[in-house]
Each structure stands twice: as structure tokens, then as C-alpha cells.
Structure 1
Amino acid sequence: MMRAWILPVLLVLCGSAVATAQVVNGNPGTAAALLCAFLALAGMNSPLIFPRSIGAEEAQRRSAVDGRPVVFWRPGCTYCMRLRLRLGRGARQAYWVNIWRDPDGAAAVRAANGGNETVPTVVVAGRPHTNPDPGWVREQLSRSA
């Protein structure tokens, strides 16, 4: 769990250091703008932006029942963030599995991607799709609803 927070914490610390240096140099406006930018980056890279993760086994079991996609992701992944943001509110319909928290999820992603932990990997009807187009995923979500 701590691993997911390393990047956001580093961004907050770096932003604070840069902002402090700007204040010392007499640039409070620049300091505030930079601190806001670093805080926004930290928020986007935190696990808070994603729907609550569940285990891979549970996600696959639920998906088999209702046909919803399973999205394997990890914090700090730009492509995962892109998918999450473009899905909007519809993202909550999918089952999200954080591969850094779930060894079974990481193993499923490695099995689907030739040994690589390439995310996002979206599983629809038992078939994995690596880094799919968000519009396609949105379409799959609407079909399962």
C-alpha cells in the first residue's frame, strides 16, 4: 500500500521545497502557482483518483456474472490515468484491480502481456486488451449495463 503513495508524497515534498525557494527569493506568486501545480500532479498520481480496487479473483468472478470489464492498473501510470479520466463517471461501472496491491492481478497482467506488467489491461469477456482506446472501453461499459 505504501508503494502507491511514494510518487504523490515525493511530488508534494518537491513542490514544497520549490515553493519555499521561490518565497525566499521574493516570488510568492510563482511559489503559489508552482505549489498548486505540484499538488495537482500529486493528486492525479494518487490512488484517490481511481475507484476502489478489489482483488483479481473477485473482479473476475463478478465480471463473469454481469459482463462488466475488469481494468488492471497501477498508481502513477499515465495511460491508466488517461483511461480513468476519459471514462468519467462510467469508470465506476468497471472492476478496478491495482496490480501493486494484488499479486494475483499482477500475475494475470503478466500472463496476458508476455511476462510484462503493461497496464492498463482491460479484460472483457475473458479476453485481455492492453491499453485500449477509452472510447472502446466506454462502449463495453454501456453494453454491460
Structure 2
Amino acid sequence: MTRTWTLPILLVLCGSVVATGLILSGSPGEAAALLLMFVLLAGMHSSLVFPRSIDAPEALRRSAADGRPVVYWRPGCTYCLRLRFRLGRGARQLHWVNIWRDPAGAAAVRAANDGNETVPTVVVAGRPHTNPDPEWVREQL
């Protein structure tokens, strides 16, 4: 769990340090704008922008029942962010598994990607697809 929040916390801390320096040098407006930018970046790289994650066995069970794809992802992954934002509201229809919180999910991704934890890995009808085009994923819904 701590690994999930490491990057967002570091972004907020770095932004706070830089903003403090700007305030001390007499630029409170620039400090506020910069801190806001760092907070937004931290939010984008956190788990907050993704639908609620479930564990891998539950995601596979639900996918078998309703036919919807399973997406294995991790916080801070720019390709996962691209997939999430390009899917828009349709992202809520997928089953999301955070591989940093679920060891079974990480093992499934390694099994599908020759031992690498390459994400996003989307499983459709039991077949894994590594970093697929968001439009293709939308068509699978």
C-alpha cells in the first residue's frame, strides 16, 4: 500500500519545498500556482483517478460472469493514465486490478508478459493484451 502513495507524496513534498522557497523570496502567487500544479500531478499519479480496484481472483470471476475485460494497472504508470482518461466514463465498466496491492494480480501480469510487470495489461476473454489501444478496449465493452 505504501508503494502506491510514494510518488504522490513525493510530488506534494517537493512542491511544498519549492513553494516555500518562492514564498520566502517574495513570490506568493507563483508559489500557489506551482503548489497547485504539484498537487494536481500527485492526484493524477494516485489511485484516486482510477475506479475502485478489486483483487485478481474476484476480477476474473466477475469477468467470467459478465464478459467485461480485466485491466491490470499500477499507480504512476503513464500508459495506465492514458488508458483511463481515453476510456472516460467507460472505464467504470471494466474490472481494475492494482498490481501493487494485489500479489495475485502482479503474478498474472508477469505470467502474461514474460516475467515483466508491464501494465496496462488487459485480459479479454481469457487472452492478455499488453498496452492495447484505448479505442480497441472501448470496442471490447
Mapping of residues 1-145 of structure 1, within 5 Å: 1-141=1-141
Q: CA deviation at 1:32?
A: 1.2
Give the TM-score, by structure 2 length: 0.98
Gaps of 5+ in 2: none
Structure 1 segments of 4 or more deviating over 3 A?
Answer: none
Q: CA deviation at 1:20?
A: 0.6
Matched to 1:67, the amino acid is G
Query: What is the CA–CA distance in structure 2 between the aligned matches of 1:124 and 1:76, rounded to whole Å?
Result: 23
Q: CA deviation at 1:28?
A: 1.3
Gaps of 5+ in 1: none
Q: CA deviation at 1:135?
A: 0.7
What percent of counterpart residues are identical? 78
Structure 2 SS opposite 1:51: coil
Query: What is the CA–CA distance in structure 2 between the aligned matches of 1:108 and 1:6, rounded to whole Å?
Result: 23
Task: Output one character per residue of 1:46-78: Cα deviation in whole Å (capped at 9) or x when no partner.
Answer: 111110100101101111111100000001111
Query: What is the CA–CA distance in structure 1 between the aligned matches of 2:96 and 2:62, rounded to whole Å?
Result: 11
Task: Output one character per residue of 1:87-133: Cα deviation in whole Å (capped at 9) or x when no partner.
Answer: 11110100000001111100000000000000000000001000000
Structure 1 SS opposite 2:72: strand
